[in-house]
Amino acid sequence: MILIFLFSLVLSIILIIVNSLIAKKSTMDREKPSPFECGFDPKSTARVPFSLRFYLIALVFLIFDVEITLILPIPVLPILSNTLPLLILSCFFIIILIVGLFHEWNEGALNWDK
């Protein structure tokens, strides 16, 4: 048992050393070990302007994407349960979505040409 442990330990150490010796190190890879792995160059300014408009559009897309995943199983559900409560719940959910859509429209969040 100890022999197997020692063999695996020695083999692991040998593989680590061989890998570090033959690994290609380049000046092009200087940003890989850096803590900034978000795509921005850490040597430039730290304050890059962020588009709040893009964030709002992504948030609206995410909300409508989740809503679609909740709406898709509605046609299958009358087979599995009582129809009237399901119809009332579905209509209530869709009314909330339409009211939210009109609110976003009135606030100007859907005007993407700005």
**For the segment 29-60, what is each residue's pLDDT rounded down to a tens digit?**
665 665 655 555 556 555 666 777 777 778 87
65-89 burial code (b ≥16 CB/10 A, e <16) = eebeeeeeeeeeeeeeeeeeeeeee
Is 96 inside any structural domain?
Answer: yes
* 11 found inside a domain: no
Let me know if residue 97 belongs to a domain.
Answer: yes
- Which pTM value belongs to this model? 0.46
Parent domain of 72? 52-114
Residue 46 lies in a domain: no
**Please, are residues 86 and 77 in contact by the beta-carbon 8 Å criterion?**
yes
In this structure, the dihedral spanned by the alpha carbons of residues 86, 88, 94 and 100, taken in order and rounded to 10 degrees, is -130
Number of domains in the chain: 1
Contact 107, 113 (CB under 8 A): no
The predicted pLDDT at position 100 comes to 84
First-to-last alpha carbon distance for the chain, in angstroms, is: 70
